[in-house]
Amino acid sequence: MLVAGVALGGGLAFAAGEGGPSPVDHVVNHPFPVKHTGEFWAWSGQQGSMVIAALLCVAVLVYAAKRIQTGPQTEGNERYLTKNPLASMIEVICLYLREKVVRPLLHDRTDAFMPFLWTVFFFILFNNLVGLVPLLDLAHLLVPSWKADHIAPVGGTATQNLFVTGTLAAIAALVVNIAGVRSLGIGGYLKHLTAGTPAFLWPLMIPIEIMGTFIKPVALALRLMANMTAGHVLLATLFMFVGLVWKDGTNILLTGSVTLVSFVGAIAIYFLEIFVAFLQAFVFMFLTSVFISQLSHHHDHEHDEGHDHEHAHGHAHAH
């Protein structure tokens, strides 16, 4: 965080007043190695961050899995205990997501979908967390010419790129609809598009349900992208003022106060961003689970039971 403050403060101080870079420069994707807009490029800073996040995700989860698995029989009951702190934390997260979040929605299909849902959660989480590391600023500090040319091989948050979140949402939508067809059958899936309404409302409901099939993943992509972008823009804006005390020494009291308040505020927002990183990974996974559950026999049974209960209650009340 201190490195981020120094890097951003030194590079962005008085940006608005002197026509320098804006906070948005730290959330846009930096191509590499081309320098001119419009040229074809096959790599970017956010792509580099995504590769780092994916490698860390695999390494950390494999490391944790080896320490969560049951030990040899010679350890007795101790072989069932996870002693590593990191592995224990990941185990608690996985169990909570499976038993308290997904199982009430998917019931007996929970175990079949958990590998996919865990992968979605941890992949998004690691990308969100890697995005909080000032890799872009460090790269520009090491090679100043990259900053002048607005290029970088690594840096930025992959989950604030609409192409990344859109791809994740498209994969989620594919899983949701394939699961719906497998659970309900072709006929049941098509019947679901009528939303259980009378036939004379089908010309209205069927187009709405079809649009909803596409709107749901779009909302997933936009929500994740917007939340990750907003926090980073706010952080960059606050860090813009962290270099003021070195820019103008004529009023140390004023510039020093602005620097102190901005730095403390940025640190507070930084901790909030860590929470948001976990929250947005959870929200994406949770909504994917909800969409899967909406296209299942369990959802239809609960819907029918609700109608039966209301009908029985109304019938008893009438008598």
Q: Taking the alpha carbons of 246, 247, 251, 253 in that order, is the dihedral positive or negative? A: negative
pLDDT of residue 115: 94
Distance between CA atoms of residues 43 and 188, nearest Å: 44
> Under a CB-based contact definition with an 8 Å cutoff, are residues 244 and 257 in contact?
no
pLDDT of residue 244: 58
Q: Is the pLDDT of residue 247 over 80?
A: no
Distance between CA atoms of residues 25 and 45, nearest Å: 12
Q: Is the pLDDT of residue 222 over 90?
A: yes
Q: Is the pLDDT of residue 89 over 80?
A: yes
Q: Is the pLDDT of residue 160 over 50?
A: yes
Q: What is the pLDDT of residues 12-34, one digit of tens each?
A: 333 333 445 577 777 788 888 76
Pick the closest to residue 276 from 90, 129, 156 (CA basis): 129
> Under a CB-based contact definition with an 8 Å cutoff, are residues 83 and 201 in contact?
no
Residue 99 gets which letter from DSSP?
Answer: I
pLDDT of residue 59: 96
Q: What is the mean pLDDT of the chain?
A: 80
Count of C-beta atoms within a 10 Å radius of residue 122? 22
Pick the closest to residue 29 from 141, 121, 209, 165 (CA basis): 165
pLDDT of residue 178: 92
Q: Is the pLDDT of residue 44 over 70?
A: yes
Distance between CA atoms of residues 140 and 149, nearest Å: 10
Q: Is the pLDDT of residue 8 over 90?
A: no
Distance between CA atoms of residues 168 and 199, nearest Å: 35
> Under a CB-based contact definition with an 8 Å cutoff, are residues 301 and 184 in contact?
no
Distance between CA atoms of residues 113 and 115, nearest Å: 6
Q: What's phi and psi for 44, nearest 5 deg? A: -155, 170
Structure tokens that stand for 176 in this block: 């949701």
108-122, 126-140, 248-262, range with the lowest pLDDT: 248-262
Q: Given pLDDT bands bounded at 50, 70 and 90, which one contains residue 184?
A: confident
Q: Is the pLDDT of residue 203 over 80?
A: yes
How far is CA 74 from each of CA 4, 65, 68, 70, 308, rounded to the nearest angstrom?
A: 49, 20, 17, 11, 56
1-5, 29-33, 189-193, 295-299, range with the lowest pLDDT: 1-5
pLDDT of residue 19: 45
Q: Is the pLDDT of residue 86 over 60?
A: yes
Pick the closest to residue 242 from 262, 222, 223 (CA basis): 262
Per-range mean pLDDT, top range of 72-76, 208-212, 295-299: 208-212
pLDDT of residue 1: 38
Q: Is the pLDDT of residue 217 over 80?
A: yes
**For residues 183-209, average pLDDT:** 83
Q: Which residue has the higher pLDDT, 313 or 267?
A: 267
Distance between CA atoms of residues 288 and 132, nearest Å: 25
Distance between CA atoms of residues 225 and 23, nearest Å: 16
Q: Given pLDDT bands bounded at 50, 70 and 90, which one contains residue 278?
A: very high
Q: Given pLDDT bands bounded at 50, 70 and 90, which one contains residue 40?
A: low
Residue 150 gets which letter from DSSP?
Answer: T
pLDDT of residue 298: 57
**For residues 125-130, average pLDDT:** 95
Distance between CA atoms of residues 290 and 256, nearest Å: 50
pLDDT of residue 5: 41
Cβ burial of 150 (10 Å; 0-12, 13-18, 19+) is middle
